[in-house]
Amino acid sequence: MKIKVFSEKDIRRAVPMERAITVLKDAFIQLSAGKANVPLRSVIPVSAHSGQTLFMPAYLEGSGALGAKIVSVFPDNRKRDLPIIHALVILVDSSTGVPLAVLDGTYLTALRTGAVSGLATDLLARKNARTAAIFGAGVQGRTQLEAICRVRHIEKVWVFDPNTKAAENFVSEMKSLGQPIPEAIFTARSSSQAIEEADIICAATTSSKPVFADSDLRPGTHINGVGSFTPEAQEIPSETVIRAKIIVDSRQASLAEAGDLLIPLRKGSIGPDHIYAELGQIAAGQLPGRETRQEVTFFKSVGLAIQDIAVAAQVLQEAEKSGLGTEVNF
């Protein structure tokens, strides 16, 4: 049996951000059309080390992509000078069950998470959005910024992270990338400063508490909340959730895992019907996205395996044309 192995470098070459956004648009349309099988992920807590490992399978019937991701989230890795997130993705032939490929899931996770925010931003943010606020100066924050800059002409960016050094490194690194990343990237001294001008907010943190105050939020802002993925974690204030138009990646997954929604729901502040739509419904044109300049739109993503599998399948497809990857005999 021969399996292809793809590194971060291979994935970057095979699927640039613009292509990832397009691939995910199709995947989410399949999901909302009932043409995807995505069981809720299984979570194995590793309490001795304050971490957890998640097992995430998926099958996209329309495109025939089948596989799974194993991803570990260990926040204490910061102290070890290691990434918080490590992941591995495997693809399987949907007609035979034969394993096809193994991919570095760490970068792929960042790519697909950025890409889904890019898709949501394209569908929901004001067309003239120019200023962005990024919460979280990790790998996820980097692809969040890249993605929104691919769909909007961003002129100014504020970055906030409790780790000032991480925020400074983020600014330096992102400035060096050039267009479409603007040169006007600044570290914010506070969450209030970060969002006082923001047209678009991306929250990509491991925080269990809201990362900004609702009172600082401007009318017409679009928010991407992609960091929290457990019922107890809440990046976005309940006051914001209550007044926002809420779009989710999956109703089922969000109502099982998204603390940003479950916390105000448990308090009776909102009900399940407060969710306006799934992203795939808007992408397919079944429902409108932003309807007024003043409304606050909030895309909540807990992260779905269809994102990983769809992008991984695209990597494999591109590799067949360009010879990327390393073939391994088992």
Is residue 85's pLDDT more than 90?
A: no
Per-residue pLDDT, averaged over 130-154, amounts to 96
Quickly count helices (H) and strands (E) in the chain.
11, 16
What distance lies between CA 234 and its chain's CA centroid?
Answer: 15
The residue range of the domain holding 85 is: 2-108+306-329
The total number of structural domains in the chain stands at: 2
CATH of residue 87's domain is: 3.30.1780.10
- 115 domain-assigned: no
Is residue 78's pLDDT more than 90?
A: no
Q: Are 222 and 124 in contact (CB under 8 A)?
A: yes
Confidence bin at 267 (pLDDT 50/70/90): very high
What is the token pair recorded at 103?
Answer: 């991919």
pLDDT at residue number 81:
84
- 116 domain-assigned: no
Does 191 lie in the same domain as 208?
yes
Does 291 lie in the same domain as 160?
yes
3-state secondary structure of 248: strand
Give me the percent of the chain exceeding a pLDDT of 70: 100
∠ CA 260-264-270, nearest 5°, is 115
Does 198 lie in the same domain as 264?
yes
Does 225 lie in the same domain as 132?
yes
pLDDT at residue number 156:
98
The Cα–Cα gap between 203 and 210 comes to 10
CATH of residue 291's domain is: 3.40.50.720
Residues taking part in catalysis: 69
Does 18 lie in the same domain as 153?
no
| Partners of 86 in the β-ladder | 72
| Partners of 55 in the β-ladder | 42, 70
Does 225 lie in the same domain as 84?
no
Give me the percent of the chain exceeding a pLDDT of 90: 88
- 77 domain-assigned: yes
pLDDT at residue number 136:
95
* Pair type for strands 85-93 and 65-73: antiparallel
Confidence bin at 1 (pLDDT 50/70/90): confident
pLDDT at residue number 69:
97
pLDDT 10s digits, 89-108: 999 999 999 999 999 999 99
Is residue 75's pLDDT more than 90?
A: no
* Pair type for strands 222-225 and 200-203: parallel
Per-residue pLDDT, averaged over 300-307, amounts to 96
- 186 domain-assigned: yes
Instruction: Map tokens 């003239």 to a residue.
Output: 128
The Cα–Cα gap between 16 and 19 comes to 5
The Cα–Cα gap between 124 and 70 comes to 30
pLDDT 10s digits, 234-254: 999 999 999 999 999 999 999
Instruction: Map tokens 């600082």 to a residue.
Output: 216
Does 197 lie in the same domain as 266?
yes
- 78 domain-assigned: yes
Per-residue pLDDT, averaged over 164-173, amounts to 94
Confidence bin at 300 (pLDDT 50/70/90): very high
Does 72 lie in the same domain as 18?
yes
Pick from 281, 282, 234: nearest CA to 261: 234
Per-residue pLDDT, averaged over 274-289, amounts to 97
- 113 domain-assigned: no
Does 316 lie in the same domain as 243?
no
- Which of 72-76, 117-121, 286-290 is predicted least confidently? 72-76
- 120 domain-assigned: no
Does 70 lie in the same domain as 201?
no
pLDDT at residue number 84:
84
- 0.85 exceeded by pTM: yes
Per-residue pLDDT, averaged over 48-65, amounts to 94
What is the token pair recorded at 14?
Answer: 């095979």
Based on its alpha-carbon atoms, the radius of gyration of the chain, rounded to whole angstroms, reads 19
- 114 domain-assigned: no
**Phi, then psi, of 190 in degrees rounded to 5:** -150, 165
What is the token pair recorded at 231?
Answer: 């019922």
Q: Are 105 and 73 in contact (CB under 8 A)?
A: no
The Cα–Cα gap between 260 and 143 comes to 22
Pick from 107, 182, 103, 169: nearest CA to 136: 169
pLDDT at residue number 82:
87
What is the token pair recorded at 296?
Answer: 């606050």
pLDDT at residue number 103:
98
The Cα–Cα gap between 93 and 75 comes to 34
Is residue 79's pLDDT more than 90?
A: no
Does 224 lie in the same domain as 99?
no
Per-residue pLDDT, averaged over 11-19, amounts to 97
Confidence bin at 21 (pLDDT 50/70/90): very high
What is the token pair recorded at 158?
Answer: 């504020």
Does 133 lie in the same domain as 104?
no
